[in-house]
């Protein structure tokens, strides 16, 4: 598990280097969008921490494997595209990572933080517990063999069957299955179980909603609009998705102590990391707008950087103050700070 996580982080680093060094003729927006696709390295890092510090329990291992393979898929595909790998290598990589990611994701929703049982589903007060056909389906897929057979067949069909609607439907169905199992676990658990599952449920739900919105936008555009508009929309959706995932999964592991209480971190560390991320965002926005001004308005690099540096610095200070005030109000962090 640790080796898989390390390999994923190294692949992400290599992909980012290639994106920004080997494709200098690619438009800036497209390079930023492709960089976002490699950003799940942060979440693979979380998988590494789980495997390293709390990998002695099967539920934790299932969650770490799900994180590693789900987010490793985009990273490996992006890396192979940058390396101009052959079509065969890319197809095999997509197949393996999609099957492993989907399978471990569904299994993690059934095993974390404890194993779901047929009684949990049958006694659930949700719609899945009250309607018999849905209940039978959910109980059937509690079997590991059924899950792996389903994701394998579905993935193969989505790649080799020339049906756009089927291909688009498979991913939301798999994500929805995880959402349902997480929700059943949440409703069937005690207070501690709910606290552990809540943020993972939120992460899965955010992925489902953002994915559906993205598909809706794509259907509305139907290939129309400028290439820049499509890249901007793709960048916005990908960024929103990964930001939501980073927040939810980090909150589950380092705030709620879902994996282990030993992984809960101090408020001061959260503040430092948040400031670092804000500085990164600040630098990215400044570079993007500066390049845009140079290309569109024809101003010099020095003038654009000086103007934007002043404006963004003025905007950053109140943001920093508000963030400090918000962190001071987070009671659980203050209580855990020792």
For residues 207 and 306, state if they share a domain. Answer: no
> So what's the pLDDT on residue 280?
66
At residue 334, does pLDDT exceed 50? no
Reported as type and span, the H/E element at residue 334 is helix 331-336
Give percent of the chain above pLDDT 70.
76
Contact of 162 with 220, CB cutoff 8 Å: no
What is the chain's percent helix, strand, coil content, to nearest 5? 85, 0, 15
Give how many domains the chain has, as a whole number: 2
> CA nearest 237: which of 229, 247, 227, 225?
229
pLDDT at residue 300, as a whole number: 57
Dist. CA 246–CA 268, nearest whole Å: 18
Examine the pLDDT at 160 and tell me if it is beyond 90. Answer: no
- Chain length of the chain: 338
260 and 279 belong to one structural domain: no
The lowest-confidence range among 46-50, 134-138, 154-158, 315-319 is 315-319
**Shared domain check, 319 and 226:** no
From residue 129, give the alpha-carbon distance in Å to each of 126, 188, 198, 263, 291: 5, 11, 19, 34, 55
Predicted TM-score (pTM) above 0.85 = no
- Give residue 337's pLDDT: 42
| Helix, coil or strand: residue 338 | coil
- The three-class DSSP label of residue 158 is helix
Question: pLDDT digit string (tens) for 53-112?
Answer: 887 788 888 899 999 999 888 888 888 887 888 888 888 888 999 999 999 999 999 999
Identify the domain boundary among 264, 294, 325.
Answer: 264
- Which domain-ending residue is among 224, 244, 264? 264
Residue the block writes with tokens 């555009």: 221
d(CA 66, CA 28): 32
154 & 62 share domain: yes
Q: Which domain holds residue 60?
A: 2-264
Q: Does residue 306 share a domain with residue 187?
A: no
């Amino acid at each position: 598990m640790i080796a898989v996580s390390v390999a994923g982080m190294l692949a992400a680093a290599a992909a980012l280097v290639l994106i920004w060094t080997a494709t200098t003729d690619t438009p800036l927006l497209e390079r930023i969008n492709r960089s976002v696709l490699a950003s799940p390295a942060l979440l693979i890092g979380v998988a590494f921490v789980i495997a390293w510090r709390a990998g002695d329990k099967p539920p934790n291992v299932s969650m770490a494997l799900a994180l590693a393979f789900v987010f490793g898929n985009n990273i490996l595909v992006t890396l192979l595209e940058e390396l101009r790998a052959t079509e065969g290598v890319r197809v095999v990589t997509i197949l393996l990572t999609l099957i492993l990611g989907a399978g471990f994701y569904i299994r993690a929703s059934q095993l974390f933080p404890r194993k779901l049982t047929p009684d949990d589903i049958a006694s659930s007060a949700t719609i899945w517990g009250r309607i018999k056909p849905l209940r039978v389906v959910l109980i059937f897929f509690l079997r590991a063999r059924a899950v792996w057979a389903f994701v394998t067949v579905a993935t193969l069909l989505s790649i080799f069957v020339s049906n756009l609607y089927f291909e688009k439907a498979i991913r939301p169905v798999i994500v929805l299955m995880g959402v349902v199992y997480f929700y059943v676990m949440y409703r069937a658990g005690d207070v501690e179980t709910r606290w552990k599952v809540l943020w993972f449920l939120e992460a899965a739900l955010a992925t489902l909603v953002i994915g559906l919105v993205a598909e809706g936008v794509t259907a509305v555009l139907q290939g129309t609009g400028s290439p820049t508009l499509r890249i901007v929309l793709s960048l916005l959706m990908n960024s929103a998705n990964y930001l939501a995932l980073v927040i939810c999964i980090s909150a589950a592991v380092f705030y709620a102590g879902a994996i282990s209480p030993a992984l809960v971190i101090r408020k001061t560390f959260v503040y430092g990391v948040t400031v670092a991320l804000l500085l990164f965002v600040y630098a990215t926005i400044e570079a993007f707008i500066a390049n845009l001004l140079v290309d569109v308005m024809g101003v010099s690099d020095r003038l654009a950087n000086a103007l934007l540096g002043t404006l963004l610095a003025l905007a950053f200070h109140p943001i920093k103050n508000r963030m400090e005030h918000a962190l001071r109000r987070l009671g659980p962090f203050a209580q855990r700070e020792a």
